[in-house]
Structure 1
Amino acid sequence: MGMRILHTMIRVGNLERSLDFYTRVLGMKLLRQHEYPGGRFTLAFVGYGPEESHAVIELTWNWDTDRYDLGDGFGHIALGVDDIYTRCDQIRAAGGKVVREPAPMKHGTTVIAFIEDPDGYKIELIQGSK
């Protein structure tokens, strides 16, 4: 159909804190960032490769909002990793929060873990899905 996923947008309460998490803790690159003073918001795009060929995450920071109710509709972002145990140790050492230690998923054999970003969004790590 000539389509692909471009990005997923999440609202963040503190852009600098979120950029630090996604770039330093998860190793993504800040691909682009633009401020919209008239609308009082900033968009920052982060990811593991260029937007032309990779899906990325859009961090939307509304200047006058420092916290969001995540609700129960959003599930998680998933990242494939080569060594989930080492990666969780690295995330923890960098100040990240591991909320489910690596282990096989319920009713399956795939090893997964969950971490949480500074705003409480869940990120699933999946062993061997890189």
Structure 2
Amino acid sequence: MNFTFCHNNFNVINLEKSIEFYEKALGLKESRRIAPEDGSFIIVYLSDGTTRHSLELTWLRDWDKPSYNLGDNEFHLALEVDDFDKAHELHKEMGCICFENKQMGIYFINDPDNYWIEILPAGRG
């Protein structure tokens, strides 16, 4: 029996704002969408165009809280990038760097819902 990764899910308050953030910050693109006729939820899958793994963003119509209980935010996505310095500069310009560990050579960005995404130099993932 073999298991393989499919996706991770984040619930979001503003779906379009989140899609825009992930495209600008990480180059992720919408690969598919599920939207029932009753409009109770929308699920959007974002892809890096390279791997089979995707990020599932879920918008719930009846969710009216401005944030989720993220606890200490120890769970997170991690992405590696081929040009770490260029990525760092982009994220600095976007104002989304929320934590840096220069000794380890990594940093984290936070999305519009305050989910943390770890950014690693290529080969460190």
* TM value normalised by structure 1: 0.81
What secondary structure does 1:57 align onto? strand
Which aligned runs of 4 or more in structure 1 are off by greater than 3 angstroms?
none
Q: Determine which of 53, 56, 59 is the counterpart of 1:58.
A: 56
Q: Contact 1:28/1:47 (CA < 8 Å) preserved in 2?
A: yes
Name the count of aligned residue pairs: 122
Identity fraction in percent: 36
In 2, the alpha carbon distance for the partners of 1:88 and 1:73 equals 21
* TM value normalised by structure 2: 0.84
Matched to 1:119, the amino acid is D
Listed as ranges, the matches of 1:24-35 within 5 Å are: 24-35=24-35
Q: Contact 1:84/1:102 (CA < 8 Å) preserved in 2?
A: no
Listed as ranges, the matches of 1:15-30 within 5 Å are: 15-30=15-30
Q: Contact 2:32/2:44 (CA < 8 Å) preserved in 1?
A: yes
Task: Specify every segment of 5 or more residues in structure 1 that has no aligned partner in the other structure, as ranges.
Answer: 106-110
Task: Specify every segment of 5 or more residues in structure 2 that has no aligned partner in the other structure, as ranges.
Answer: none
